[in-house]
Amino acid sequence: MHFHPGFLKSCLHIFILNLLIQVAIAQEPNDIRLSPADSIMVETLISRMTLDEKIGQLTLLASAWNSTGPAMNADYEQLIKTGKAGAVLNFYTVDKVRELQKLAVNGSRLGIPLLFGNDVIHGHRTIFPIPLGQAASWDLAAIENAQQIAAMEASAEGINWTYAPMVDIARDPRWGRVAEGAGEDTWLGCLIAKASVRGLQGENYKDGKHILACVKHFAAYGAATAGRDYNVVDISPVSLYENYLPPYKAAVDAGVASVMTSFNEINGVPSTANHWLLTDLLRKEWGFRGFVVTDWTSINEMVAHGVAADVKAAAGLALNAGVDMDMQGSAYLNHLEELLKENKVTQASIDEAVRRILTAKVRLGLFIDPYRFCNKQREQTEIMTKASQDFARKLVAESCVLLKNSNSTLPVSPGVKSIAVIGPLADSRKDMLGNWYSAGKWEQAVSLLEGFRNRYGKQTRIIFEKGCNLNDSSVSGIDAAVKAAREADFVILALGESGEMSGEAASRTNIDLPGMQYTLAEAVIKAGKPTAVVLFNGRPLAISRLNRIAPAILETWFGGTQAGNGITDVISGDVNPSGKITMSFPRNTGQIPVYYNVKNTGRPYSPDRPDEKYVSRYLDCPNTPLYPFGFGLSYTKFTYSGIQAGVKGNSITISAKVTNSGGRDGEEIVQLYIQDKVGSITRPLKELKGFKKLMIKKGESVNVSFTISREDLSFYHPDLMKYWEPGEFNAFIGGSSADVISASFKL
Which residues form the interface with ligand GLC (CB under 6 A)? Answer: 68-69, 89, 119, 163, 216, 295-296, 504
CB of 294 to ligand GLC, least distance (A): 9
The helices-and-strands tally (H runs, E runs) of the chain is: 22, 25
What kind and span of H or E run contains 655? strand 651-660
Task: State the minimum distance, in angstroms, from the CB of residue 46 to ligand GLC.
Answer: 27
CB 83, min distance to ligand GLC, A: 23
Identity of the residue, 163 or 715, whose beta carbon is nearer to ligand GLC in the bound complex: 163
Q: Which of 558, 578, 439, 537 is nearest to 129 (CA)?
A: 558
Bridge-based pairing state of the strands 701-709 and 651-660: antiparallel
Answer for the pair 147, 201: CB distance below 8 angstroms, yes or no: no
Closest CA to 316 of 341, 288, 290: 341
Q: How far is the CB of 267 from ligand GLC (least distance, A)?
A: 21
Rounded Cα distance, 164 and 130, in Å: 12
* Smallest separation (angstroms) from ligand GLC to the CB of 298: 8
* Alpha-carbon span 454 to 336, nearest angstrom: 58
Query: Residue 318 or residue 696: which is nearer to ligand GLC going by CB?
Result: 318
Task: Report, in Å, the least distance between residue 558 CB and ligand GLC.
Answer: 17
Nearer to ligand GLC by Cβ, of 59 and 655: the residue is 59
CB nearer to ligand GLC: pick between 435 and 660: 435
Decide if 225 contacts 231 (C-beta within 8 A). Answer: yes
- Pairwise CA distance, residues 209 & 218, whole Å: 26
User: With respect to ligand GLC, which residue has the nearer C-beta, 62 or 553?
Assistant: 62
| Alpha carbon distance 170, 178 (integer Å) | 6
Q: Would you say the C-alpha torsion 541, 544, 549, 555 has a positive or negative sign?
A: positive
Rounded to the nearest angstrom, the gap between the alpha carbon of residue 467 and the centroid of all alpha carbons in its chain is: 33
CA angle (52, 55, 59) in 5-degree steps = 130
Bridge partners (DSSP) listed for residue 695: 667
Of the pair 167, 491, the CB lying nearest ligand GLC is at: 167
Where is 402: in which H helix or E strand?
strand 401-405
**Residues found in the chain:** 747
User: In the complex with ligand GLC, which residue's Cβ is closer, 177 or 683?
Assistant: 177
Q: Which is nearer to ligand GLC, 151 or 401 (CB)?
A: 151
* Ramachandran category for residue 472: left, alpha or beta (phi over 0 → left; psi -120 to 50 → alpha): beta
Shortest distance (Å) from residue 162 CB to ligand GLC? 9
| Residue 131 beta carbon to ligand GLC: minimum distance, rounded to whole angstroms | 12
Active site residue 280: no
Measured in degrees and rounded to the nearest 5, phi and psi for residue 435 equal -120, 170
Nearer to ligand GLC, 126 or 261 (CB): 261
Neighbours of 484 (CB within 10 A): 21
* Backbone Cα Rg of the chain: 27
DSSP E strands in 56-179: the ranges are 59-62, 87-89, 115-118, 161-162
In the complex with ligand GLC, which residue's Cβ is closer, 57 or 438? Answer: 438
CB contact set of 145 (below 8 Å; sequence gap of 6+): 199, 391
Using the minimum distance from each CB to ligand GLC, give the nearer residue, 185 or 504: 504
- Min CB(722)–ligand GLC separation in Å: 29
**CA nearest neighbour of 56 among 104, 106, 98:** 104
Cα separations in angstroms, 534 against 400, 423, 521, 564, 684: 10, 9, 11, 11, 33
| Residue 160 or 736 with smaller CB distance to ligand GLC | 160
Catalytic residue among 119, 168, 295, 326: 295
Taking the mean position of all CA atoms in its chain, how far away is CA 336? 33
Residues with Cβ within 8 Å of 202's Cβ and at least 6 positions away in sequence, in order, are 148, 151, 209, 210
The rounded distance, in Å, linking the Cα atoms of 180 and 170 is 10
Other residues' Cβ atoms within 10 Å of the Cβ of residue 241: 19
What one-character DSSP code corresponds to residue 371? T
| Least Å from the CB of residue 327 to ligand GLC | 7
- Residues of the chain by 3-state class (helix, strand, coil), percent to 5: 35, 20, 45
Query: Please, what is the minimum distance in Å from the beta carbon of residue 559 to ligand GLC?
Result: 21
CB nearer ligand GLC, residue 89 or residue 468 = 89
Count of Cβ atoms closer than 10 Å to residue 708 Cβ = 17
Residue 383 contacts residue 125 (beta carbons within 8 Å): yes
638 with 735: CB under 8 angstroms? Answer: yes
Q: Give the integer Cα–Cα distance in Å for 215 and 164.
A: 6
Beta strand pairing call for 687-696 and 666-676:
antiparallel
* Run of H or E residues at 5: helix 5-24
Q: Shortest gap between Cβ of 260 and ligand GLC (angstroms)?
A: 6
In the complex, the smallest distance separating the C-beta of residue 167 from ligand GLC, rounded to whole angstroms, is 12
The phi, psi pair for 45, rounded to 5°, reads: -60, -50
Show which residues are catalytic: 295
